[in-house]
Amino acid sequence: MINPLNPPQNITSTLCENRYTHLHAGVDFSTGKKNGLPVLAVMDGEAKQVKITYRGYGKCLYLFHKDGYITVYAHLSKFSEEIEEYLKPHYKKNPYPGIVEIIPPIFYKKGDVIAYSGESGFGFPHLHFELRKGIETLNPIPYFNFSNSSKIFLKKIVIIPEAPYTSINGKFKKVSFKLPLKDEINVKGPFSLGIEAYEFQIGNKRGIQGFDLYLDEKLVSTLYFKGFSYEDYYGIRFILNYLSFGNSIYNLNPPKNNPYNFFKGENYFDLKEGKYKFKVNVKGLSSEKSFEFFIKTSKPLPKPPILKENIFYKSHFFLSGIEGMFYPENINIFKVGGVDYYIGNLKPKEIFKIGPFEIKHKEKFSVPFCFYLTKYENGFLEPKTLQLNMEPKDLGLTKRAEINVNLPELKEKEKVGIYGARGNFYYGNNWEGDKLKAEVFAPDDYVLLEDKIPPEILKAYKKKNKVFVITKDIGSGIPWDGVQVKILGRDYILEYDPDHYKAIGELKDKGKGEIIVKDRAGNKRIKIFHF
Ligand SMILES: [Zn+2]
């Protein structure tokens, strides 16, 4: 395959990078912060389909190649002339018509211009590129020729206790060590490993391609992102700190009930007394780097310590004062400081009820979980329920979970929606009678909030025949069609770009009119404006 951009560009993001709610399903090419670079067919193929949506991939083109390969080009500013011509009648009905089949398909030779890069859909100017076959998205990197050198950075090694009595340098919790590391680490009890690493090239950080882990020269764990099935799109389980937006910490041991075909090895280590050499070889796009460290193991204490501040370790359900690993089959309730902690294993397809919340577990295997309710005291909006807390947050889901909330006593439901309690991320207000339904991506904290605060219009101005509206909203946020103009009996929907809090529209009329801004909860702000 040839580079899809002219002139050729670097890869800024790789397959399987953590996108908090899902895995990155392709690679991103830089467009030097610009729009309008010619996008080329990476090999001979037929343009059979486009997809045009307001968010997500924006303007997106699908090329079909021989042997069932499909290449996908997203966030485009426009398609080739002949495709744009074909789409004209579709645009008339709707500027975002979704999937449109191209009949008959248009054939392109390798290197032909098929589109122009842009920033449509989500994010800033770049080209998102995918190589697909069947239900799998494949890592396209081995199919390209990259001569630029890159550098791997190894930041930290993390030792994770796998039993309540495991201690790491005397501490009964997860411990990180900066790399390089000369001193040996003392571990008592079973443990697993994690690594913080990334690849760096020309001002840009990106995810690694994989690693091999050796214990005394024997390969014990290996990961290589060769691709994944769309079934595992939400499968962020192998990233230890997936809730953070910084560098990823990768598990060096695959999780129990490992759902990934690209990750193989032992789930944890339970080693006899001795001194062991571990070697990790981290692979990048055009480089590799390895390092060694030593772990000295000895017998754990006969009794685990009693932890007063926490009834469980953040990443594992080790209860204080209880000997042995604690993974109860059924849900158990533990009262600590007036709070009921529900701890246990959620079985496949099981529904768990706590307060008004109902959590529908969709995984194919049992997952250890802890749920508890606390008071929400985090923001500007009024809570209508307690806050549902889910632990452990560093064991991600591989499928979306469903949360239903039953609130028959709540009278006015219209402006009440479900939010992530930490960042006030809005999951919607999809009420069916007394029940609110939401899909969530990861174990997090959730709460029902009422948004009565109307959005603000910070600024509105005209430039030639275009109108610009700058907005601000606390709470549910403004949807893409949330900014309207009413003038001389005509309605216009302005295109709202949430990345820049800005709506732009082209008007045919002049005179006195109204700008109307609505948020997702239905709150409205109106401003009189002379267009
Ligand atoms: Zn991308």
pLDDT for residue 320: 40
List pLDDT tens digits, range 162-174. Answer: 877 788 999 887 8
- 111: CA distance to ligand 1 center in Å? 21
Please check whether residue 19 is in contact with residue 26, taking contact to mean a CB–CB distance below 8 angstroms. no
Distance from C-alpha of 38 to C-alpha of 76, rounded to nearest angstrom: 10
Residue 60, phi then psi, degrees to nearest 5: -140, 135
User: Any idea which fold 151-298 has?
Assistant: Coagulation Factor XIII; Chain A, domain 1 (2.70.50)
Please check whether residue 366 is in contact with residue 346, taking contact to mean a CB–CB distance below 8 angstroms. yes
List pLDDT tens digits, range 198-247. Answer: 998 877 889 999 999 999 999 999 999 999 888 777 777 788 877 676 78
- 131: CA distance to ligand 1 center in Å? 12
- 363: CA distance to ligand 1 center in Å? 26
- 26: CA distance to ligand 1 center in Å? 6
The helix (run of H) or strand (run of E) holding residue 516 is strand 512-518
List pLDDT tens digits, range 61-104. Answer: 999 999 999 999 999 999 999 999 999 999 888 888 999 999 99
Positions of CATH 2.70.50 in the chain: 151-298
- 32: CA distance to ligand 1 center in Å? 15
- 245: CA distance to ligand 1 center in Å? 15
- 140: CA distance to ligand 1 center in Å? 13
- 13: CA distance to ligand 1 center in Å? 7
- 22: CA distance to ligand 1 center in Å? 12
- 55: CA distance to ligand 1 center in Å? 13
Distance from C-alpha of 94 to C-alpha of 110, rounded to nearest angstrom: 32
- 12: CA distance to ligand 1 center in Å? 9
Q: Which residues in 92-226 belong to E strands, given as ranges?
A: 98-108, 113-117, 127-133, 136-138, 151-161, 167-168, 175-178, 185-188, 191-201, 204-206, 210-215, 218-224
Positions of CATH 2.60.220.50 in the chain: 327-450
- 161: CA distance to ligand 1 center in Å? 34
pLDDT at 325 over 50: no
Positions of CATH 2.60.40 in the chain: 456-530
CATH numeric code, 11-143: 2.70.70.10
- 75: CA distance to ligand 1 center in Å? 9
pLDDT for residue 395: 66
- 73: CA distance to ligand 1 center in Å? 10
List pLDDT tens digits, range 408-461. Answer: 999 999 999 999 887 778 999 999 999 999 988 777 899 999 999 999 999 999
- 181: CA distance to ligand 1 center in Å? 34
Q: What share of the chain is helix, strand, coil (3-state, %, to 5)?
A: 5, 50, 45
Tell me the pLDDT of the chain averaged across its residues: 87
Please check whether residue 80 is in contact with residue 113, taking contact to mean a CB–CB distance below 8 angstroms. yes
List pLDDT tens digits, range 356-370. Answer: 999 988 877 777 778
CATH architecture of the domain covering 327-450: Sandwich (2.60)
- 331: CA distance to ligand 1 center in Å? 39
pLDDT for residue 432: 95
CATH 2.60.40 for the 456-530 domain, yes or no: yes
Distance from C-alpha of 168 to C-alpha of 175, rounded to nearest angstrom: 7
